Amino acid sequence: MKVIRAKSAGFCWGVERAIKIARQYSDSGARRVYSDGPLIHNRQMMEKLEAEGIREVGDYQSRGELSLSSDGVLVVRAHGISPERREYLKSLGLEFRDATCPDVGIVAGKIRKMARAGYASIIFGDKDHPEVIGLLGYTEGRGYAVQGREDIDALPELGDKVCMVSQTTMFTDDFASLVEYVRGKYPDLVVFDTICGATRARQSDIEVLLRDGAQAIVVIGGHHSANTRKLAALAERSNLPTFHIETAAEINHDDFKGFDCVGVTAGASTPDFLIDAVCEKLGAL
Protein backbone atom coordinates (compact mmCIF):
# COMPACT_ATOMS: atom_id res chain seq x y z
CA MET A 1 0.00 0.00 0.00
CA LYS A 2 1.24 3.50 -0.79
CA VAL A 3 1.85 5.59 2.32
CA ILE A 4 1.96 9.41 2.23
CA ARG A 5 3.53 10.94 5.31
CA ALA A 6 2.47 14.50 6.17
CA LYS A 7 5.40 16.95 6.13
CA SER A 8 4.48 18.31 9.55
CA ALA A 9 4.04 14.90 11.25
CA GLY A 10 5.91 14.63 14.53
CA PHE A 11 7.46 16.89 17.12
CA CYS A 12 6.76 20.61 16.97
CA TRP A 13 9.44 23.03 18.04
CA GLY A 14 7.91 23.55 21.49
CA VAL A 15 8.03 19.85 22.26
CA GLU A 16 11.56 19.49 20.87
CA ARG A 17 12.66 22.39 23.01
CA ALA A 18 11.12 20.95 26.20
CA ILE A 19 12.82 17.59 25.65
CA LYS A 20 16.13 19.30 24.93
CA ILE A 21 15.94 21.30 28.15
CA ALA A 22 15.20 18.19 30.24
CA ARG A 23 17.92 16.19 28.51
CA GLN A 24 20.54 18.85 29.24
CA TYR A 25 20.42 17.60 32.82
CA SER A 26 19.69 13.90 32.33
CA ASP A 27 22.54 13.48 29.83
CA SER A 28 25.16 13.97 32.49
CA GLY A 29 23.33 11.50 34.76
CA ALA A 30 24.51 13.48 37.78
CA ARG A 31 21.13 14.92 38.83
CA ARG A 32 17.58 13.77 39.17
CA VAL A 33 15.29 15.45 36.63
CA TYR A 34 11.61 15.85 37.42
CA SER A 35 8.79 17.10 35.23
CA ASP A 36 5.69 18.49 36.92
CA GLY A 37 3.10 16.33 35.15
CA PRO A 38 3.90 14.90 31.70
CA LEU A 39 6.54 17.05 30.00
CA ILE A 40 4.72 16.29 26.73
CA HIS A 41 1.53 14.35 25.98
CA ASN A 42 2.90 11.10 24.63
CA ARG A 43 3.06 8.02 26.83
CA GLN A 44 5.68 6.15 24.77
CA MET A 45 7.99 9.17 24.68
CA MET A 46 7.53 9.75 28.41
CA GLU A 47 8.52 6.11 29.02
CA LYS A 48 11.64 6.65 26.91
CA LEU A 49 12.48 9.81 28.84
CA GLU A 50 11.91 8.01 32.13
CA ALA A 51 14.49 5.40 31.06
CA GLU A 52 16.88 8.32 30.48
CA GLY A 53 16.33 9.58 34.03
CA ILE A 54 13.61 12.18 33.47
CA ARG A 55 10.85 11.37 35.91
CA GLU A 56 7.28 12.59 35.67
CA VAL A 57 5.95 13.54 39.10
CA GLY A 58 2.65 14.99 40.22
CA ASP A 59 -0.57 14.68 38.30
CA TYR A 60 -1.78 15.21 34.74
CA GLN A 61 -3.06 18.73 35.48
CA SER A 62 -0.08 19.83 37.61
CA ARG A 63 -2.26 20.63 40.60
CA GLY A 64 -1.08 18.33 43.39
CA GLU A 65 1.62 18.83 46.02
CA LEU A 66 5.09 17.43 45.33
CA SER A 67 7.73 16.00 47.60
CA LEU A 68 11.10 15.92 45.85
CA SER A 69 14.78 15.56 46.56
CA SER A 70 16.29 19.04 46.74
CA ASP A 71 19.37 18.16 44.69
CA GLY A 72 17.21 17.58 41.61
CA VAL A 73 16.09 19.81 38.75
CA LEU A 74 12.42 20.59 38.25
CA VAL A 75 11.35 21.18 34.65
CA VAL A 76 8.07 22.88 33.74
CA ARG A 77 6.02 21.05 31.11
CA ALA A 78 5.63 22.36 27.52
CA HIS A 79 1.96 23.23 28.22
CA GLY A 80 2.94 25.82 30.82
CA ILE A 81 1.59 26.47 34.30
CA SER A 82 -0.23 29.19 36.20
CA PRO A 83 1.68 31.91 38.13
CA GLU A 84 0.51 30.30 41.40
CA ARG A 85 1.92 26.95 40.37
CA ARG A 86 5.17 28.62 39.34
CA GLU A 87 5.47 30.24 42.75
CA TYR A 88 4.73 26.93 44.45
CA LEU A 89 7.29 25.00 42.38
CA LYS A 90 9.96 27.63 43.02
CA SER A 91 9.27 27.40 46.76
CA LEU A 92 10.32 23.74 46.74
CA GLY A 93 13.96 24.77 46.62
CA LEU A 94 15.08 22.73 43.59
CA GLU A 95 16.77 24.19 40.56
CA PHE A 96 13.90 25.39 38.37
CA ARG A 97 13.86 25.24 34.55
CA ASP A 98 10.96 26.49 32.52
CA ALA A 99 10.24 24.42 29.38
CA THR A 100 6.91 26.11 28.66
CA CYS A 101 6.53 26.41 24.91
CA PRO A 102 7.20 30.05 23.97
CA ASP A 103 4.00 30.05 21.92
CA VAL A 104 2.05 29.30 25.10
CA GLY A 105 4.09 31.96 26.89
CA ILE A 106 2.96 34.53 24.33
CA VAL A 107 -0.70 33.70 25.03
CA ALA A 108 -0.11 34.00 28.77
CA GLY A 109 1.59 37.38 28.25
CA LYS A 110 -1.32 38.74 26.22
CA ILE A 111 -3.87 37.60 28.81
CA ARG A 112 -1.88 39.09 31.67
CA LYS A 113 -1.49 42.43 29.91
CA MET A 114 -5.20 42.63 29.12
CA ALA A 115 -6.24 41.48 32.60
CA ARG A 116 -4.11 44.26 34.12
CA ALA A 117 -5.90 46.72 31.84
CA GLY A 118 -9.23 45.56 33.26
CA TYR A 119 -10.28 43.08 30.59
CA ALA A 120 -12.13 39.81 31.19
CA SER A 121 -10.61 36.94 29.19
CA ILE A 122 -12.49 34.33 27.21
CA ILE A 123 -10.29 31.35 26.36
CA PHE A 124 -11.51 29.07 23.58
CA GLY A 125 -10.35 25.69 24.88
CA ASP A 126 -10.81 22.79 27.24
CA LYS A 127 -11.04 23.96 30.85
CA ASP A 128 -9.53 20.67 32.04
CA HIS A 129 -6.47 20.81 29.79
CA PRO A 130 -3.22 21.79 31.54
CA GLU A 131 -2.53 24.60 29.06
CA VAL A 132 -5.90 26.22 29.74
CA ILE A 133 -5.59 25.69 33.50
CA GLY A 134 -2.26 27.52 33.33
CA LEU A 135 -3.64 30.34 31.17
CA LEU A 136 -6.64 30.90 33.43
CA GLY A 137 -4.13 31.71 36.15
CA TYR A 138 -3.14 34.89 34.27
CA THR A 139 -6.67 36.29 34.05
CA GLU A 140 -6.71 37.82 37.54
CA GLY A 141 -9.84 35.85 38.40
CA ARG A 142 -11.79 37.01 35.33
CA GLY A 143 -11.11 34.18 32.91
CA TYR A 144 -13.61 31.81 31.29
CA ALA A 145 -12.84 28.70 29.25
CA VAL A 146 -15.44 28.06 26.55
CA GLN A 147 -15.88 25.44 23.87
CA GLY A 148 -19.07 26.55 22.12
CA ARG A 149 -22.00 28.95 21.93
CA GLU A 150 -23.78 27.38 24.88
CA ASP A 151 -20.77 28.19 27.08
CA ILE A 152 -20.81 31.78 25.83
CA ASP A 153 -24.52 32.07 26.59
CA ALA A 154 -23.88 30.85 30.14
CA LEU A 155 -21.24 33.52 30.91
CA PRO A 156 -22.01 36.24 33.45
CA GLU A 157 -22.20 39.84 32.20
CA LEU A 158 -18.60 40.76 31.43
CA GLY A 159 -18.90 44.51 30.79
CA ASP A 160 -17.30 46.41 27.89
CA LYS A 161 -13.75 45.19 28.26
CA VAL A 162 -13.54 41.65 26.96
CA CYS A 163 -10.73 39.88 25.11
CA MET A 164 -10.62 36.46 23.53
CA VAL A 165 -7.77 34.02 22.86
CA SER A 166 -7.56 30.38 21.89
CA GLN A 167 -5.84 27.35 23.34
CA THR A 168 -2.95 26.84 20.92
CA THR A 169 -4.25 23.56 19.53
CA MET A 170 -7.84 24.39 18.54
CA PHE A 171 -9.43 24.36 15.07
CA THR A 172 -8.88 27.65 13.24
CA ASP A 173 -12.37 27.62 11.66
CA ASP A 174 -14.11 26.94 14.97
CA PHE A 175 -12.23 29.80 16.62
CA ALA A 176 -13.17 32.22 13.83
CA SER A 177 -16.82 31.24 14.02
CA LEU A 178 -17.00 31.52 17.81
CA VAL A 179 -15.28 34.93 17.67
CA GLU A 180 -18.07 36.17 15.42
CA TYR A 181 -20.67 34.90 17.88
CA VAL A 182 -18.96 36.55 20.85
CA ARG A 183 -18.59 39.79 18.89
CA GLY A 184 -22.36 39.84 18.51
CA LYS A 185 -22.60 40.18 22.29
CA TYR A 186 -19.46 42.25 22.87
CA PRO A 187 -18.90 44.58 19.87
CA ASP A 188 -15.62 45.92 21.30
CA LEU A 189 -14.18 42.43 21.73
CA VAL A 190 -10.38 42.36 21.42
CA VAL A 191 -9.28 39.16 19.68
CA PHE A 192 -5.89 37.45 19.63
CA ASP A 193 -5.74 34.47 17.31
CA THR A 194 -3.31 32.38 19.34
CA ILE A 195 -3.56 29.03 17.57
CA CYS A 196 0.10 28.16 17.08
CA GLY A 197 1.88 27.76 13.75
CA ALA A 198 2.60 24.08 14.39
CA THR A 199 -1.10 23.37 14.87
CA ARG A 200 -2.02 25.28 11.71
CA ALA A 201 0.57 23.37 9.68
CA ARG A 202 -0.78 20.02 10.88
CA GLN A 203 -4.34 21.03 10.17
CA SER A 204 -3.58 22.24 6.64
CA ASP A 205 -1.48 19.12 5.92
CA ILE A 206 -4.65 17.03 6.25
CA GLU A 207 -5.90 18.88 3.17
CA VAL A 208 -2.64 18.06 1.39
CA LEU A 209 -3.05 14.35 2.18
CA LEU A 210 -6.56 14.43 0.72
CA ARG A 211 -5.38 16.27 -2.38
CA ASP A 212 -2.56 13.76 -2.88
CA GLY A 213 -4.99 10.86 -3.02
CA ALA A 214 -5.19 9.43 0.50
CA GLN A 215 -8.20 7.12 0.81
CA ALA A 216 -7.90 6.83 4.58
CA ILE A 217 -6.03 8.79 7.25
CA VAL A 218 -3.99 7.40 10.12
CA VAL A 219 -3.34 9.85 12.94
CA ILE A 220 -0.63 8.82 15.39
CA GLY A 221 -0.39 10.20 18.90
CA GLY A 222 -1.54 10.02 22.50
CA HIS A 223 -5.23 9.51 23.06
CA HIS A 224 -4.97 12.26 25.73
CA SER A 225 -3.04 14.64 23.44
CA ALA A 226 -5.26 17.62 22.56
CA ASN A 227 -3.62 18.39 19.25
CA THR A 228 -3.66 14.74 18.13
CA ARG A 229 -7.34 14.38 18.99
CA LYS A 230 -8.07 17.55 17.03
CA LEU A 231 -6.18 16.21 14.02
CA ALA A 232 -8.18 12.99 14.14
CA ALA A 233 -11.42 14.97 14.40
CA LEU A 234 -10.40 17.13 11.44
CA ALA A 235 -9.59 14.06 9.34
CA GLU A 236 -12.99 12.60 10.26
CA ARG A 237 -14.68 15.77 9.03
CA SER A 238 -13.29 14.98 5.57
CA ASN A 239 -15.45 11.83 5.59
CA LEU A 240 -12.48 9.57 4.98
CA PRO A 241 -12.03 6.54 7.25
CA THR A 242 -9.82 7.78 10.07
CA PHE A 243 -7.79 5.73 12.53
CA HIS A 244 -6.34 7.37 15.66
CA ILE A 245 -3.66 5.05 17.01
CA GLU A 246 -0.80 5.39 19.48
CA THR A 247 1.51 2.71 18.06
CA ALA A 248 1.92 0.37 15.10
CA ALA A 249 0.62 -2.48 17.27
CA GLU A 250 -2.89 -1.04 16.92
CA ILE A 251 -2.92 -1.39 13.13
CA ASN A 252 -5.50 -3.94 12.11
CA HIS A 253 -4.82 -5.43 8.69
CA ASP A 254 -8.54 -5.88 7.92
CA ASP A 255 -9.24 -2.17 8.43
CA PHE A 256 -7.08 -1.31 5.42
CA LYS A 257 -8.35 -3.88 2.93
CA GLY A 258 -9.42 -2.17 -0.28
CA PHE A 259 -7.23 0.95 0.12
CA ASP A 260 -4.35 1.63 -2.26
CA CYS A 261 -3.13 4.77 -0.59
CA VAL A 262 -3.21 5.93 3.02
CA GLY A 263 -2.18 9.28 4.52
CA VAL A 264 -0.25 9.36 7.79
CA THR A 265 0.00 12.30 10.13
CA ALA A 266 0.90 12.69 13.78
CA GLY A 267 0.41 15.03 16.69
CA ALA A 268 2.99 17.55 17.82
CA SER A 269 4.16 15.28 20.65
CA THR A 270 4.55 12.08 18.62
CA PRO A 271 8.17 10.92 18.24
CA ASP A 272 9.61 9.87 14.88
CA PHE A 273 10.29 6.31 16.02
CA LEU A 274 6.52 5.73 16.39
CA ILE A 275 5.73 7.33 13.02
CA ASP A 276 8.46 5.33 11.26
CA ALA A 277 7.11 2.06 12.68
CA VAL A 278 3.55 2.85 11.58
CA CYS A 279 4.61 3.87 8.05
CA GLU A 280 6.70 0.72 7.71
CA LYS A 281 3.88 -1.55 8.83
CA LEU A 282 1.30 0.14 6.61
CA GLY A 283 3.65 0.07 3.63
CA ALA A 284 4.07 -3.68 4.04
CA LEU A 285 0.33 -4.37 3.96
Binding residues vs ligand SF4 (CB under 6 A): 12-15, 78, 101, 103-104, 168-169, 196, 198-199, 227, 268
Looking at the Cβ atoms of 100 and 139, the one nearer to ligand SF4 is 100
Cβ-based nearer residue to ligand SF4, 82 or 168: 168
Least separation, in Å, of the C-beta of 172 and ligand SF4?
13
Instruction: Count CB-CB contacts under 10 A for residue 177.
Output: 12
Residue 160 Cβ, how far from ligand SF4 at the closest point, in Å? 30
- Tell me which residue has its CB nearest to ligand SF4: 14
Cβ atoms of 270 and 42 closer than 8 Å: yes
Instruction: Rank residues 26 and 167 by Cβ distance to ligand SF4 and give the closer one.
Output: 167
Whether the CB-CB separation of 31 and 54 falls below 8 Å is answered with no
Q: Which is nearer to ligand SF4, 178 or 198 (CB)?
A: 198
Q: What is the DSSP string of 26-44?
A: HTT-SS-EEEES-SSS-HH
* Nearest distance from C-beta of residue 29 to ligand SF4, angstroms: 27
Q: Answer yes or no: 131 catalytic.
A: yes
Q: Which of 95, 131, 207, 246 does the annotation list as catalytic?
A: 131
Residue 41 Cα distances to 18, 78, 129, 244, angstroms? 12, 9, 11, 15
d(CA 74, CA 88): 12
Q: How crowded is residue 248: how many other Cβ atoms within 10 Å of its Cβ?
A: 17
Q: What minimum distance in Å lies between the beta carbon of 133 and ligand SF4? A: 14
Which of the residues are catalytic? 131
